[in-house]
Structure 1
Amino acid sequence: MTCRSRLTSAAAGLLLGALAVVPAQAEEIVLKAVTAFPAPVEFAKSFKRFVDKTNEMGKGVVQINYMGGPEVIPPPQQAQAVRRGVVDMQYGPGTYYLGEMPEVDAWVGSTVSATEAREKGGFKIMQAVYKEGLGAYLLAHIDSGIDFHIYLTEEPKRTPDGGVDLTGLKLRSQPIYRAFFEALGATNVSVPVPEVYTALERGVVDGVGWPLVGIKDLSWDKFLKYRIDPGFFQTDLAIIMNEDKWNSLPQEARDILTKAAVEYEKESYDHYQKVIKETDKTVQAEGMQVIDITGEARTEYLDMAFSTAWKRLQESGSEYTEQLREAYYDR
């Protein structure tokens, strides 16, 4: 063997040895995700923005495959699908699981943003709640700061003190509103979101409880001509993950998901404060009339609303009630 051949052989051996100790590049992790909302609804669009943000931050490490909404898995079954690992991630209202997690009422009765509550330790408590109640990992509480209103097809009766009397009216409801609507004299009617348009069209319901954000998404504003102010409660929208899947992720992937979640909590809050103002101008310009409760009647109206959420939580016997109240409620 010539000197040049020996040198070439040695160099090849060194190269192969070096390649042998270079670790194989980790394969990009893809998480399957669903939402509780149909694509046209603003909240589904918000989750898509979170997905896009995460996928940009997680290139080469972790990606989210947004599979869709109720057409993929019916909303009441989505948490179980996460628990069983059918999907890895889900976004939707926490109040779907009030039976397992009465503490979600802390989000409903919250008067602070998700970012503020996180700083005060509230989010950490809710992570423990989700782990115990759903066996899921709570990643984020996004789209906070969006309150609810009562919308009606006809002008409501007023009380002598300037409040509203909804006696005899049928309102499309859900568990978080029920006690409050009853206190106002209304009858609660359960109607799935996709059927609300028809229920309004046929007079099955006289109004709905819904955030100002998204009131136009499903064309309900065609029938809803009156809005009662002030708004009450807050959205309870959470991103959860299968706990085993979360625990199996490399630290880099978990760090990316956590960073995206914390940042998007604030981004979504700021975004929707602007959307609320813009939507308010639009619906009023299109003819929606605002029934504004003022003075002492306003205070009583809000106290009545928020007290129903915190009373439910208190009566549930949750060990976290006082801690959550301290973190989420400042009225």
Structure 2
Amino acid sequence: MFTNMLKTAAVALTLAAGLTASLAQAREMRVSSFEPAQGFYSSKILQAWIDDINAKLSDGAKFKLYPGSILGAPPAQAELVKAGVADVALVVPTYTPGLFPISGVVEVPGLVPNSTVGANILNTLSEEGALDAEYADYKVIALFTTPSYRFFMTDEGVTAPDQLNGKKLRSPSQFGSELFGMVGASGVSIPAPQVYENLERGVVSGAVWVMDAYRTFRLNEVAPNITTPGFIASPMAILMNKDTYASLSDADKAVLDQMSGRATAQWVASVVDAADAEIEKSFRDAGEVNFVELDATALAAWDEAFAGAADAWVSGQADPEAAASALVSARAVAAQ
């Protein structure tokens, strides 16, 4: 009887050990987004990617979205992934100056008209090895950009850059603020959820941003004038923790590889550009927003105002030679 009890206990321990091992192997992989769940990138990009990839991964490896900065603030996203707090995150490289320097080439005014061109630029630079150092700590899921930023103004629709002189504007980045200085304006760093309030109170006269943010944060209520002069774009990245990737089975790694890289970036860019066009059309159709139309002469004035931007960007990098080379490649891609 005692022997049978020992055998039963041994079987139970074996089953428990097997269950423990199974549970250890099965894990929920956290995808961090600083946007709310209903935000454009959270819902249309990250959640869509999660739904697609989860259907292809093994039962023990599934992704789950953690939106609304639950895991950390927007500038902390890259570090959250590197530290393993998040397994994947949506990262804006320019939120952390100096960490992803060459990716910032897309901030040169006039270089990126839309996300499709921006994604092509960043993925070409990545394939050329120009971005190896800055993404060495990550598994890159996708590199892409926003469309060209627009000026959302409270009081009047600007037609010429000299109209920005003396104004305070919500800036998308450190380099964006430097560009504002070229036309006598000053940049103010304001978290996305607080932009509406600061426009409404007159703390800033405008915000430089994209149409999905314009709709998400209802900026049409406080900044009904939109000018599209071919300004900067922001680099964007979806990054994965390298140890998380390494821990997956070969089959799951193959799925991740299939849903990463240029093809995934092109899909993201197509969704971004389609949304940008749809949102613009919806506001035009509603007739509640003033879209300032710029002719060739007006656009040339904007180009002239920021003629020194490319040199300023290159000279501001820790490795100007690498930056200059990246800019040459980026311009070649943009000209295609």
Tell me which interval the TM-score lies in, with the shorter structure as reference length. 0.7 to 0.9
1:32-70 deviation digits (Å, cap 9, x = unpaired)? 120122223212222211222221232446421212231
Matching residue of 1:71? 70
Q: Distance in 2 between matches of 1:317 and 1:215?
A: 34
1:178-236 deviation digits (Å, cap 9, x = unpaired)? 12222222222222111111111211111101012331101111111111123322231
Secondary structure at 1:253's aligned position in 2?
A: helix
Matching residue of 2:272? 272
Secondary structure at 2:292's aligned position in 1?
A: strand
The answer on whether the counterparts of 1:61 and 1:253 sit within 8 Å (CA) in structure 2 is no
Matching residue of 1:291? 292
Return 284-293 or 147-156, whichever deviates more: 284-293
Amino acid at match of 1:181: F
Q: What's the CA shift for 1:257?
A: 1.6
Amino acid at match of 1:269: A
Q: Distance in 2 between matches of 1:31 and 1:307?
A: 44
Matching residue of 1:192? 191
Q: Which runs of 5+ in 2 are unaligned?
A: 1-21
Matching residue of 2:167? 169
Matching residue of 2:32? 34
Q: Distance in 2 between matches of 1:241 and 1:120?
A: 19
Return 55-64 or 184-193, whichever deviates more: 55-64
Matched residues, number: 301
Return 262-271 or 319-328, whichever deviates more: 319-328
Measured at CA, do residues 128 and 61 of structure 1 come closer, stay the same or move farther in structure 2, by a change above 3 Å?
farther
The answer on whether the counterparts of 1:200 and 1:223 sit within 8 Å (CA) in structure 2 is yes
Q: Distance in 1 between matches of 2:77 and 2:210?
A: 22
Matching residue of 1:19? none
Measured at CA, do residues 99 and 128 of structure 1 come closer, stay the same or move farther in structure 2, by a change above 3 Å?
closer
Q: Distance in 1 between matches of 2:25 and 2:254?
A: 17
The answer on whether the counterparts of 2:141 and 2:264 sit within 8 Å (CA) in structure 1 is no
1:271-326 deviation digits (Å, cap 9, x = unpaired)? 23222222112222342112233224413424655853663244313253244224
Do residues 150 (structure 1) and 151 (structure 2) align? yes
Do residues 242 (structure 1) and 247 (structure 2) align? no
Q: Distance in 1 between matches of 2:274 and 2:28?
A: 33
Measured at CA, do residues 137 and 172 of structure 1 come closer, stay the same or move farther in structure 2, by a change above 3 Å?
same
Secondary structure at 1:238's aligned position in 2?
A: strand
Amino acid at match of 1:33: V
Q: What's the CA shift for 1:81?
A: 2.1
Q: What's the CA shift for 1:117?
A: 4.5
Q: Percent identity?
A: 22
Q: Which runs of 5+ in 1 are unaligned?
A: 1-23
Q: What's the CA shift for 1:150?
A: 0.9
Counterparts of 1:69-218 in structure 2 under 5 Å? 69-109=68-108, 110-111=111-112, 112-115=117-120, 117-119=122-124, 121-122=126-127, 124-131=129-136, 135-142=137-144, 144=145, 146-156=147-157, 159=160, 163-173=161-171, 174-218=173-217
Q: Distance in 2 between matches of 1:28 and 1:125?
A: 36
1:241-281 deviation digits (Å, cap 9, x = unpaired)? 22333333333323212221233312222223222222112
Secondary structure at 1:227's aligned position in 2?
A: strand
Q: Distance in 1 between matches of 2:234 and 2:75?
A: 18
Q: Distance in 1 between matches of 2:201 and 2:230?
A: 26
Secondary structure at 1:214's aligned position in 2?
A: helix
Matching residue of 1:324? 326
Q: Distance in 2 between matches of 1:28 and 1:71?
A: 22
Amino acid at match of 2:280: D
1:112-169 deviation digits (Å, cap 9, x = unpaired)? 24246525655743243222xxx33332114x3622111101115655xxx5521122
Secondary structure at 1:261's aligned position in 2?
A: coil
Q: Distance in 1 between matches of 2:306 and 2:47?
A: 31
The answer on whether the counterparts of 1:170 and 1:187 sit within 8 Å (CA) in structure 2 is yes
Q: Distance in 2 between matches of 1:101 and 1:155?
A: 35
Secondary structure at 1:53's aligned position in 2?
A: helix
Q: TM-score, normalised by structure 1?
A: 0.79
The answer on whether the counterparts of 1:230 and 1:298 sit within 8 Å (CA) in structure 2 is yes
Measured at CA, do residues 301 and 61 of structure 1 come closer, stay the same or move farther in structure 2, by a change above 3 Å?
farther
Instruction: Please tell me whether Structure 1 or Structure 2 has the larger radius of gyration of its CA atoms.
Output: 1
Q: Distance in 2 between matches of 1:50 and 1:291?
A: 35
Do residues 48 (structure 1) and 47 (structure 2) align? yes
Q: What's the CA shift for 1:99?
A: 2.4
Q: Distance in 1 between matches of 2:176 and 2:190?
A: 13
Q: Distance in 1 between matches of 2:120 and 2:225?
A: 32
The answer on whether the counterparts of 1:121 and 1:327 sit within 8 Å (CA) in structure 2 is no
Q: Distance in 2 between matches of 1:303 and 1:58?
A: 51
The answer on whether the counterparts of 1:43 and 1:214 sit within 8 Å (CA) in structure 2 is no
